Amino acid sequence: MCHDIRGARSGAAPEKCGTSASVVWTYAGTAKSLRCVDNAFHFKAAVGDIFNDPIKGFGVLGSYTGRRMREATGYGIDRIVQELSPRLRRVAATYERHTVELSKSSDQLLRRYGKQAANQQHAQKRLADIAIDLFIGLCVLSRAHSLAQQSHTAASEAISIAEIFTRQARRRVACNVRSLERSEDVAIEQLAGAVLAHGGYMWDVIQA
């Protein structure tokens, strides 16, 4: 048996679960991150209804503002509450920060493009890649923690795997976040369009 780590639900007591269910907490944390895609639409609804229904509108607006403040300051954000070894606690802290990054990046995408965000395929891929790194990293963390609790002979190696993957994921997430602001997407699409319009590769040095 192992303890189920509820990744993004602060205040929840750890629950005992079967080993096969140890990744449930990872899905819960990642799914919560992905729900931030709807936040901009909730904000728009709050502003639209704030005069017709001031109490309701203020509640939604206050919730949105509170989340933005937590993301900006780091105070009050959700944490992995399970007690972890010092090495795994550093790993967990990385994923807590990346969850906030995913939320902020999704929010910025929606505020920039509105409903047209659904057509921003390059940006969606980068957000999906961040979510994938979060999900896999939390699975690796869960497995390493489970082995450490059991005093398994391979626990140290499992923790090393978690640390290595986390360092690699941190670089990928940072690259994806930067690329949401600055990228060559437009230039690449223009070049691809020119190749398609030409009907093939335009730079052959050997003529048929």
Give a yes or no: residue 85 inside a domain: yes
User: Could you tell me the CATH number of the domain that includes residue 70?
Assistant: 1.20.140.10
Residues 6 or more apart whose Cβ sits within 8 Å of residue 169 = 94, 98, 133, 134, 136, 137
Q: Among 6-10, 72-76, 198-202, where is mean pLDDT lowest?
A: 6-10
The pTM score is: 0.62
One-letter amino acid identity for 206?
Answer: I
Under 8 Å between Cβ of 181 and 44: no
Q: What pLDDT does residue 50 have?
A: 41
Residues 6 or more apart whose Cβ sits within 8 Å of residue 108 = 180
Domain count, the chain: 1
Residue 6's domain comprises 2-185
Q: What is the pLDDT of residues 113-144, one digit of tens each?
A: 888 888 889 999 999 999 999 999 999 999 99
d(CA 174, CA 180): 10
Give a yes or no: residue 191 inside a domain: no
Q: What pLDDT does residue 70 have?
A: 54
Give a yes or no: residue 177 inside a domain: yes
The label of the residue with tokens 């409903």 reads 115
Q: What is the pLDDT of residues 146-186, one digit of tens each?
A: 999 999 999 999 999 999 999 999 999 999 999 998 889 88
Give a yes or no: residue 133 inside a domain: yes
Q: What pLDDT does residue 134 have?
A: 93
d(CA 169, CA 48): 39
Q: What is the pLDDT of residues 56-77, one digit of tens each?
A: 444 444 454 455 555 555 545 5
Give a yes or no: residue 202 inside a domain: no
